[in-house]
Amino acid sequence: MSRRLSTLLAALVPAILLLVLATSATVPLVAMGPGPTYDTFAESEVERGDRVEAVPVIEVAGREADETTGSLRMTTVAVRDRLTLVDAVRFWLDEDQVVVPRDQVFPPDRSRDEVEQTNSAEMVGSENSAEVAAYRHLGIPMRPRVEGVDPEGAAAGLLRTGDLLTTVDGQQVADSSAVVARVGEHRPGDEVRIGFTRDGREETTTTTTLRPAGPDGDPDQGRIGILVGDTPADGTDVRINIDPDVGGPSAGLVLAIAIVDKLSPGESTGGAEVAGTGTIEPDGTVGPIGGISHKIQAASEVGATEFLVPAGNCAEAAADPPDGIRLIEVDTLAGALEALEAATSGGEPPTCG
């Protein structure tokens, strides 16, 4: 072998190894950018037994659902993990993407599965809050209902999913907030009497509160070990059918508006293409979220002309928005509905910037 060929091979081998590493070995970075949007007025495919059915995203039983036109989209952020060096450079060069250290999204003390489980739990909580906020806005009387029972909790074997709670320590409870407040007055080891209805029959059980699970729990506050939500007293039942891969609390505002639309006459969107984001509390308060610029970009790409922005995100949202989309500032469910009415009837809603 000639000296020139030997020199060439000696130079090529490290280059080839570097190329292999750059295209196969992962780096501790993730890319974040516009994610999928989901029209809450449309249908979603869900598994029902051994079949996959197309059902409304907001599925109503117990009363007739109102017709809707246009679209009302919840927005997401796409997070791309396990990037190679080449991937990271490619996303870094894309102006719609942000590359950040992986620890910012997946904390080193928690596994990816644990983060996804937390996101799923937050989505369930967001759905429950959206329902309650919508019911309260519409003036629909509610009753607190057991949505889940911790198998290791104090209520295990005593309460069941679907039980309607009526009293705590003999005091009437009108909704889930009242249940949480009454139980929260107790310390670990206290006995709490829970009145409830099961299959139309009144029953009473006694249970003992426990310490909250996890390192962040208050050691002086009792915990009964149930997930409690609210259901309308008039028999109305709303089921939210969203892609199970979607997590986090940021869909709350849009879901609440969609439920109001389905349960009342008229259209909050006026048939327009609307998108938005924001957490929702049972009292209708709207909270800020992360990734606002990515969500606005995603909405713009699917043709939305109006975007609901939590007041706490307005400064960031107005920094460099895409053309053709109006950023409507909201801080409550009622305010969001009023702003949409103004926006779709030729008025001037409050805007960011």
284 and 332 in contact (C-beta within 8 Å)? Answer: yes
Query: Does any domain span residue 20?
Result: no
- % pLDDT > 90, the chain: 44
Q: What pLDDT, on a 0 to 100 scale, did the predictor assign at position 276?
A: 97
Sorting pLDDT into bands at 50, 70 and 90, what band is 287? very high
Instruction: Give the per-residue pLDDT at 223.
Output: 83
Structure-block tokens of residue 221: 């506050």
Contact 29, 230 (CB under 8 A): no
What is the average pLDDT across 272-298?
A: 95
Of all residues in the chain, what percent carry a pLDDT higher than 70? 90
Q: 23-32, 36-45, 164-173, 329-338: lowest mean pLDDT where?
A: 23-32
Q: CA separation (Å) from 299 to 72, 134, 277, 307?
A: 10, 23, 10, 8
Comparing 329 with 177, which gets the higher pLDDT? 329
The 10s digit of each residue's pLDDT in 122-163 is 888 889 889 989 999 999 988 999 988 988 888 999 999 999
CA 104 to chain centre: 19
Handedness of CA 98, 104, 106, 108 (dihedral sign): positive
Residues 275 and 326 in one domain: yes
Q: Total structural domains in the chain?
A: 2
In the prediction, which pLDDT does 92 show? Answer: 84
Q: Are residues 221 and 173 in the same domain?
A: yes
pLDDT at site 88:
80
Task: Summarize the confidence of residues 202-223 as an average pLDDT.
Answer: 70
Identify the pLDDT of residue 17.
47
Please report the pLDDT score of residue 217 as a whole number: 56
Flag whether pLDDT at 12 surpasses 80. Answer: no
Range of the domain at 105: 36-137+236-344
The answer on 294 and 197 residing in a single domain is no
Q: Range with the lowest mean pLDDT among 4-13, 49-58, 281-290? A: 4-13
Distance CA 183, CA 285 (A): 23
User: Regarding predicted confidence, which is higher, 336 or 204?
Assistant: 336
Are 113 and 223 within one domain? no
Q: What is the mean pLDDT of residues 281-298?
A: 94
Mean of the pLDDT values across residues 73-80? 93
Question: Are residues 221 and 271 located together in one domain of the fold?
Answer: no
Give backbone dihedrals phi and psi of 151, rounded to 5 degrees, phi first: -60, -20
Together in a domain, 253 and 274? yes
How far apart CA 344 and CA 353 sit, in angstroms, is 20
Torsions phi, psi for 293 (to 5 deg): -65, -40
Check whether 112 has a pLDDT greater than 80: no
Is the domain of 75 the same as that of 173? no
Task: Indicate if 109 and 250 belong to the same structural domain.
Answer: yes
**Hey, what amino acid is at 175?**
D
Work out the number of other CB atoms within 10 angstroms of the CB of residue 165.
24
Could you tell me the pLDDT band of residue 21, with boundaries at 50, 70 and 90? very low
Indicate if 124 and 256 belong to the same structural domain: yes
Q: Structure pTM?
A: 0.81
CA distance 175 to 168: 11
Distance CA(62)–CA(50), nearest Å, equals 25
Indicate the average pLDDT of the chain.
86
pLDDT bin (cut points 50, 70, 90) of residue 14 is: low
Report the DSSP beta bridge partners of residue 229.
145
Q: Which residues pair with 31 in a beta bridge?
A: 80, 99
Q: Is residue 170 part of a domain?
A: yes
HEC profile for 78-111? Answer: EEECCCEHHHHHHHHHCCCCEEEEHHHCCCCCCC
Tokens representing 266?
């008229």
Q: Which has more confidence, 16 or 73?
A: 73
Last residue of a domain, one of 206, 232, 258: 232
In the numeric block, which tokens belong to residue 302?
């699917």
Picking from 214, 232, 250, the residue at the C-terminal end of a domain is: 232
Looking at the structure, tell me whether residues 273 and 175 fall in a common domain: no
125 and 158, same domain (yes or no)? no
The pLDDT score that the predictor gives to residue 22 is 46
In a domain, 353, yes or no: no
**Based on the domain organization, do 145 and 217 belong to the same domain?**
yes
Give yes or no for residue 259 having a pLDDT over 90.
yes
pLDDT at 9: 47
Is the Cβ–Cβ distance between 305 and 340 less than 8 Å?
A: no
The last residue of a domain, from among 232, 252, 269: 232
Let me know if residue 191 belongs to a domain: yes
pLDDT over 90 (residue 90): no
Q: What is the mean pLDDT of residues 183-195?
A: 88
**Domain-embedded: residue 19:** no
Question: Which pLDDT score, from 0 to 100, does residue 216 have?
Answer: 54
Distance CA 300, CA 91 (A): 20
Q: What pLDDT shows up at residue 2?
A: 58
**Residue 343: partners with Cβ closer than 8 Å, 6 or more residues away:** 270, 272, 306, 326, 328, 349
